[in-house]
Amino acid sequence: MTTDLLFTHRFEPGDRSGATPLLLLHGTGGDENDLLQLGAMISSGSPLLSPRGRVLENGMPRFFSRLAEGVFDEEDVRHRALELGEFVQHARKRYGIDAPLAVGYSNGANIAAALLLMDPHALSGAILLRAMVPLTDPPAARLHGKPVLILSGRQDPIVPADNAGALAAMLSAAGANVDHRILPEGHQLSQADLGLARTWLAEAKQHTAAS
């Protein structure tokens, strides 16, 4: 665990040449350890960069403030997204990694989506697990075909299906290559999420190499 570079974080260097670095972004109440196993299962041997959210809600770490469940403090979202982008920039220099692909769950997926819109150069793409629209009036981002996978749950009580669809449309309009899947799940993750994320990332890597 490292406590500088703005965020308390974990970095696992990986052991596979050319493996895509992953930026792991936990959900509410998680920490820098939460998604390490998930990241290793999605892309074995990848460098893993996993920060802890700096905002506390009733003692639980988050990546930005909210006014109520599903109602975000959008000024704070913008500030925290740029702060996370700065962290990624410094971490890349320290650890010698390429622009990472974000793997975010819930609150972590939402800040990853905000980072794509606020600082498109910070990420090479994203896997957004149970994400929703982070900004109602986002900047005019240019994502130039960045690969994005959105995995939503049909029975998710927190993220309405139309909201997840609006996020997919928003990122597509910004130029991302978006694949939005709706699974027969709730807000929690499942083996189906893991399998789809792993397959999608391998295919996205092959497509990038071919182009």
Domain range summary for the chain, segments of one domain joined by +: 9-210
DSSP string, 164-190: HHHHHHHHHHTT-EEEEEEES--SS--
Supply the pLDDT for residue 207. 65
How many CB atoms are closer than 10 A to CB 155? 10
Supply the pLDDT for residue 145. 95
Catalytic site positions = 106, 156, 187
Within 13 Å of residue 127, how many CA atoms lie on the same side as its CB? 28
How many CB atoms are closer than 10 A to CB 117? 24
**Mind listing the pLDDT tens digit of every residue in the chain (211 residues)?**
766 788 999 999 999 988 999 999 999 999 999 999 999 999 999 999 999 999 999 999 999 999 988 899 999 999 999 999 999 999 999 999 999 999 999 999 999 999 999 999 999 999 999 999 999 999 999 999 999 999 999 999 999 989 999 999 999 999 999 999 999 999 999 999 999 999 999 998 776 655 5
Contact (Cβ atoms closer than 8 angstroms) between residue 123 and residue 148? no
8's CB contacts (< 8 A; 6+ apart) are 1, 2, 31, 32, 51, 52
Supply the pLDDT for residue 70. 83
How many CB atoms are closer than 10 A to CB 202? 13
Supply the pLDDT for residue 48. 98
Contact (Cβ atoms closer than 8 angstroms) between residue 30 and residue 61? yes
Instruction: Please give the CATH architecture assigned to the domain spanning 9-210.
Output: 3-Layer(aba) Sandwich (3.40)
Is the pTM of the predicted complex or chain greater than 0.75?
A: yes
